[in-house]
A and B are shown apart, each in its own frame.
Chain A
Amino acid sequence: MRLRLVPENTSWDFFSRARMWLGISAVLVVVALGSFFLQGLNYGIDFRGGTTIRTESTQAIDVGAYRDALAALDLGDITIVEVNDPTFRADQNVAMIRIQAQDGQESVTSEVIDSARVALQAVSDDIKFVSVESVGPKVSGELIQTAAIAVVLAIGAVLFYIWLRFEWQFALGAVAALVHDVVLTIGVFSELQIRFDLAIIAALLTIVGYSLNDTVVVFDRVRENLIKYKSKDLKEVLNLSINETLSRTFMTSVTTLLALIALFVLGGDVIRGFVFAMIWGVVVGTYSSIFVASAILLRLGVKRDWSKPVDTTGNQFGDVDA
């Protein structure tokens, strides 16, 4: 007995509600963009400069006491978060403290870090500073720029590759799906105010890769079926292709998700945001390769017979016998 995620020989109609799905996607994109522009992202220090200190102590963490100790130093905006994680030992109490970039200072000052250390040591005597990271505003500005360029470059490169291998309609469909995935992922980070740092950019680019992976597999089948069934309607060909690849689409998504969920639960809090972005991306990417990429391909239409030059102009029955 084999495990089957999808029944054999499905012939579901994915386009009967195409408008609805595109509508839902459009709404989600608008919400994501709205959140991005209204409340922005919870940027980590990589992108806005400042200092994060990760502390560890065997004593329970009193966030209020930490805050009072640091407030006396007049360091501007300070966030203190207690971190809980199933991978921690029983007496492992972890806090993340973020101090904003100090005004008028291009580089990082160790005085700030040292004064914070001393102040915290007064509160909790066995406190350990397991990581201290500072990024100056100069670098953080550049990092965000490089990151944006990387995402745009990746999308551009992929657009070009698919255009080369398929047709421009396919490329547009794939890239629409990509942009959809990236926007929704950035959106969820904005909506839930999850910390957005350099690693998330890596996750975003992986989502770009993964989403494409999915879309390309469907498109590859579409290309094959378009040649095989020359007289079939584009909609039918798309439906057939999606149904034929459905089993694979689910298998791959599930294996990837299995691996990612293991990492999400057991991988520790340091990379949890990163893994969350990937999980979200895999789910959205799978959805979009069917409901966005293919739906857009259907709207754009495809020049059917690209293997030969069009020599049937003026003869409307030119390829009836094909």
Chain B
Amino acid sequence: MLQIDLWKRVLIWAVIVLGLLLAMPNAFYTRVETANDASAAIELGADTTENRDAAAEWPSFLPSGLVNLGLDLRGGAHLLAEVLVKDVYEARMEAFWPDVRDALRGERDKIGTIRWNSEAVKNGELRVRISKPEGMEHALEIVRGLARPVVSLTGAGATDLEVRGEGTEIVVTLSEAEQQATDERTLRQSLEIIRRRIDEVGTREPTIQRQGFDRILIQVPGLGSAQELKDIIGTTAQLTFQPVVSRASSADQAPGVGNEILPSLDEEGVFYILEQTPVVTGEELTNAQPSFDQNGRPAVSFTFNAAGARKFGDYTAENIGSPFAIVLDGEVISAPVIQSHIPGGSGIITGNFTVEESTNLAVLLRAGALPAGLEFLEERTIGPELGQDSIDAGKIATIVAFVAVLVFMAASYGLFGIFANIALIINIGLIFGMLSMFGATLTLPGIAGIVLTVGMAVDANVLVFERIREELKTAKGPARAIELGYEKALSAIVDANITTFITAVILFVMGSGPVRGFAITLGLGILTSVFTAIFVTRLLIVMWFERRRPKKIEV
């Protein structure tokens, strides 16, 4: 008859307690938030008594995960930017011209004079006209010889250039594999740069996400306007190559006239005294990518534009054996020793890198400037007042909706309605618990999703109760009726909720921003409401039934 195994009961209660425990911090939102911020600050080194007191506001043994509030509730700035990946092709092709020129120069007797069509570079093509078309094959062969293997997972085995002849012109473009690898790199670099810039401002929980293939979504809560955000992203970080005078162990040392002292990026307590005037700057860098040195160790190769190449070539020729520093935003990334004269503007940085480190360094090297232009497709600014108004309105609406449904259920089903109401309260707790656990974002449509769940969550209970009523008519005794009610309503509950869940999943996958927030609460709401209806209400009814053993029940 009506029986639920002890282990099941324990499990159900455990889930409820866990869910409610996870949801609890949200009831003390501001307090937990200040405590969390203070703990984070302590971890970052700001170990002041003030922060300690603030952190102690919320006991550390309690869960402290909070539901993130979306931009529409908290206020802030939102940008959707498209990275113009083709910009990079242009720069690459432009920088490739000196190589082609040098390679073909020695073959003048076979191919005649060469002329660069600098207009075509805008389309990502390097077009070179030769005066003796009969030497085309030879010229193509030479240029093809300049191609390098593509460094990427998918493009293994391919080379980076595609070279063909068109009449009297040699046409060089990036190969498809290289374009893909370049695009990927451009996006990663852009993301990294944007992240660094925004981190410097130090706002709480920015979202910086790649969207689709070539877009970046940036959301910063608490920022005054989207324009402000654009300004932050647009500020150029400074990358320089500077001669190293000496190493130092503290920032207080006197660097001397014309020199400056800068800290190392990743070695604590290491400082470098550098000459203030850079040899070259990041603006003259056209490319940096992970590669391998002649011994197969991870390294980073880089290329300067023509002007940078000349300066860098001259400097390296004169300073073989002495270190020079790569400086990003006032911190020394690394200080390798010049091994040989580096002509042609491209070089390689070796060190004790892992592949990952070399990849990161390549990203950082280009982090001086955004590798490609950004086009802003969407920008939104939501003031904190509007967000607060929405939260207040949402709160009141949720409470009223909640109370209305509770009263209505109790009036319709009496004691059983009250059981359903207890389950509904647990249900809301569980939704918030799960939202906090996943660190999901609550948006205004998300609140609507919760309110809708309040309305629909009782559905599963209603299905069961109506079924019990029907079974009572055929008079098999209350225990049997309850059991049959659950058994027979199950297929309807499952089918009805799976169909709604399918739409929630589709919304989540296809939607963005606020719509996604709605899909999350709707989907979680379905899960928790099925759980509460099938397990929690049932457990409550069974416990009541065991205690009372009524001969007759009214549903």
Report chain B residues within 8 Å CB of A129.
381, 383
A251 part of interface (Cβ distance < 8 Å): yes
Report chain A residues within 8 Å CB of B400.
262, 266
A162 part of interface (Cβ distance < 8 Å): yes
B499 near A267 with CB under 8 A, answer no
* Complex: A202 Cα to B518 Cα, angstroms: 7
Report chain A residues within 8 Å CB of B554.
2
B409 near A87 with CB under 8 A, answer no
For residues 84 through 118 of chain A, which have their beta carbon under 8 Å from a beta carbon of chain B? 87, 106-108, 110, 113-114
Chain A min CB distance to B207 (Å): 17
Given A54-B386, A201-B515, A267-B394: A161 and B378 within 8 A (CB)? no
20 additional contacts (CB under 8 A) given A252-B458, A259-B455: A2-B413, A3-B411, A131-B380, A136-B377, A138-B82, A139-B378, A150-B510, A153-B506, A158-B499, A161-B502, A201-B511, A202-B514, A216-B492, A248-B459, A255-B456, A259-B401, A262-B451, A263-B401, A271-B390, A271-B444
B408 part of interface (Cβ distance < 8 Å): yes
B455 near A213 with CB under 8 A, answer no
Chain A: interface secondary structure?
helix
A107 near B397 with CB under 8 A, answer no
Chain B: interface secondary structure?
helix
B325 part of interface (Cβ distance < 8 Å): no
Option from A106, A149, A262 in Cβ contact (under 8 Å) with B510: A149
Interface residues, chain A, CB within 8 Å of chain B?
2-5, 54, 56, 87, 106-108, 110, 113-114, 128-136, 138-139, 146-147, 149-150, 153-154, 157-158, 161-162, 165, 198-199, 201-202, 205-206, 208-210, 212-214, 216-217, 220-221, 224, 244-245, 247-248, 251-252, 254-260, 262-263, 265-268, 270-271, 274-275, 278
Show 29 residue pairs from A and B whose CB-CB distance is below 8 angstroms, ordered by the A residue.
Answer: A2-B412, A2-B554, A4-B412, A107-B375, A108-B376, A135-B378, A139-B378, A154-B502, A154-B506, A161-B498, A161-B499, A199-B515, A205-B507, A210-B456, A216-B495, A221-B492, A248-B459, A252-B462, A255-B405, A255-B408, A255-B456, A256-B459, A258-B408, A262-B401, A267-B393, A270-B72, A271-B390, A271-B445, A275-B448
Option from B389, B455, B499 in Cβ contact (under 8 Å) with A209: B499
A110 near B227 with CB under 8 A, answer yes
Which of A107, A201, A213 neighbours the largest number of chain B CB atoms within 10 Å of its CB?
A213
Option from B377, B383, B462, B504 in Cβ contact (under 8 Å) with A108: B377
Report chain A residues within 8 Å CB of B390.
268, 270-271
Report chain B residues within 8 Å CB of A138.
82, 377
* Complex: A275 Cα to B226 Cα, angstroms: 28
Report chain A residues within 8 Å CB of B524.
none
A158 near B378 with CB under 8 A, answer no
A132 near B503 with CB under 8 A, answer no
Report chain B residues within 8 Å CB of A220.
491-492, 495-496
* Complex: A161 Cα to B506 Cα, angstroms: 14
* Complex: A110 Cα to B80 Cα, angstroms: 14
Q: For chains A and B in complex, what number of residue pairs have CB atoms within 8 angstroms?
A: 238
A213 near B462 with CB under 8 A, answer no
B393 near A266 with CB under 8 A, answer yes
B503 near A56 with CB under 8 A, answer no
Given A146-B510, A259-B452, A266-B397: A87 and B389 within 8 A (CB)? yes
Which of A157, A165, A265, A268 neighbours the largest number of chain B CB atoms within 10 Å of its CB?
A268
Given A130-B385, A213-B496, A260-B451: A248 and B503 within 8 A (CB)? no
In the complex, the 4 A-B pairs of residues with the closest C-beta atoms, listed nearest first = A256-B455, A259-B455, A268-B393, A209-B500
B17 part of interface (Cβ distance < 8 Å): no
Given A150-B507, A202-B445, A205-B503: A87 and B515 within 8 A (CB)? no
Chain B min CB distance to A262 (Å): 4
Chain A min CB distance to B149 (Å): 36
A252 near B499 with CB under 8 A, answer no
B408 near A3 with CB under 8 A, answer yes
A213 near B499 with CB under 8 A, answer yes
B210 part of interface (Cβ distance < 8 Å): no
Q: In this complex, what residue of B is CB-closest to A198? A: B515
B153 part of interface (Cβ distance < 8 Å): no
Q: In this complex, what residue of B is CB-closest to A157? A: B502
A271 near B492 with CB under 8 A, answer no
Q: In this complex, what residue of A is CB-closest to B513? A: A198
B492 near A217 with CB under 8 A, answer yes
For residues 89 through 134 of chain B, which have their beta carbon under 8 Å from a beta carbon of chain A? none
Report chain A residues within 8 Å CB of B10.
none
B519 part of interface (Cβ distance < 8 Å): yes
